[in-house]
């Protein structure tokens, strides 16, 4: 029997942009429409990758070597794609992932200055070339996003603790990725209300899923 491959939808954006909020809303709305949905996140998604997440976001390791950091994200991603994302897509499910390759390109490639191309290549190796069918970029002024995130997490993680210039670089990296592949990306102004944002996302995913 031939099962139709599922769809891979990724949310990207800075801290406090509203990714987790919209991931949950989209999952609920797709499930209500009868789709089988897997919700996951990066770094993480499997036991091994969640252990790497703990390590890589822990402020205890504030001075972690940037290359080590990039490799840890890639290691978590390799595990996540092979053990969870690919099997779910192969069985026809919709996978919604909170962050993916573009976050590595933004944070490690540009934020840590390791080079966007190098990080994209490393990620490509880790994923076996898997790309999202649709990436939703929630675009927010980092000052606003960090303030929102601060109301949720009392203790900022290792990425949230970076300076404003770092977060502005990350923001521009997401916009650059969207600019290069407008057909696979939707940029949404994330300072709108959650309802307005959810509506834009619903329109884009309906058109993707047909």
Ligand X SMILES: Nc1ncnc2c1ncn2[C@@H]1O[C@H](COP(=O)(O)OP(=O)(O)O)[C@@H](O)[C@H]1O
**If binding is defined by CB under 6 A, does position 149 make contact with ligand X?**
yes
Cβ count within 10 A of residue 128: 10
**If binding is defined by CB under 6 A, does position 148 make contact with ligand X?**
yes
Enter the DSSP assignment of 130.
-
Pick the binder of ligand X from 132, 197, 201, 205 (CB under 6 A): 197
Q: How far is the CB of 14 from ligand X (least distance, A)?
A: 7
Cα 190 to Cα 137: distance, rounded to the nearest angstrom: 9
**If binding is defined by CB under 5 A, does position 192 make contact with Mg ion?**
no
Pick the binder of ligand X from 151, 154, 180, 182 (CB under 6 A): 151
**If binding is defined by CB under 5 A, does position 20 make contact with Mg ion?**
yes
> Comparing C-alpha atoms, which of 185, 183, 104, 96 is closest to residue 138?
185
SS3 content of the chain, % helix, strand, coil (to 5): 55, 15, 30
**If binding is defined by CB under 6 A, does position 200 make contact with ligand X?**
no
Tell me whether residue 124 or residue 158 sits nearer to ligand X (CB atom).
158
Q: How far is the CB of 74 from ligand X (least distance, A)?
A: 22
Enter the DSSP assignment of 34.
T
Residues of this chain that bind Mg ion (CB under 5 A)? 19-20
């Amino acid at each position: 029997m031939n099962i139709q491959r599922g769809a891979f939808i990724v949310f990207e954006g800075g801290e406090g942009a509203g990714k987790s909020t919209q991931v949950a809303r989209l999952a609920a709305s797709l499930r209500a429409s009868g789709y089988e949905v897997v919700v996951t996140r990066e770094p993480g998604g499997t036991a091994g990758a969640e252990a790497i997440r703990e390590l890589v976001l822990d402020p205890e390791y504030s001075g972690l070597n940037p290359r080590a950091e990039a490799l840890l994200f890639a290691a978590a991603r390799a595990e996540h794609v092979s053990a969870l994302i690919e099997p779910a897509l192969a069985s026809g499910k919709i996978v919604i992932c909170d962050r993916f390759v573009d976050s590595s390109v933004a944070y490690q490639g540009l934020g840590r200055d390791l080079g966007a191309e190098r990080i994209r290549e490393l990620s490509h190796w880790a994923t076996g070339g898997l790309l999202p069918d649709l990436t939703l970029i929630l675009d927010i002024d980092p000052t606003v996003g960090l303030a929102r995130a601060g109301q949720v997490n009392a203790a900022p993680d290792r990425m949230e603790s970076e300076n404003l210039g770092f977060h502005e670089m990350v923001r521009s990296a997401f916009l650059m990725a969207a600019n290069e592949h407008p057909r696979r990306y939707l940029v949404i102004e994330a300072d709108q209300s959650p309802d307005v944002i959810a509506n834009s996302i619903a329109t884009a995913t309906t058109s993707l899923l047909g």
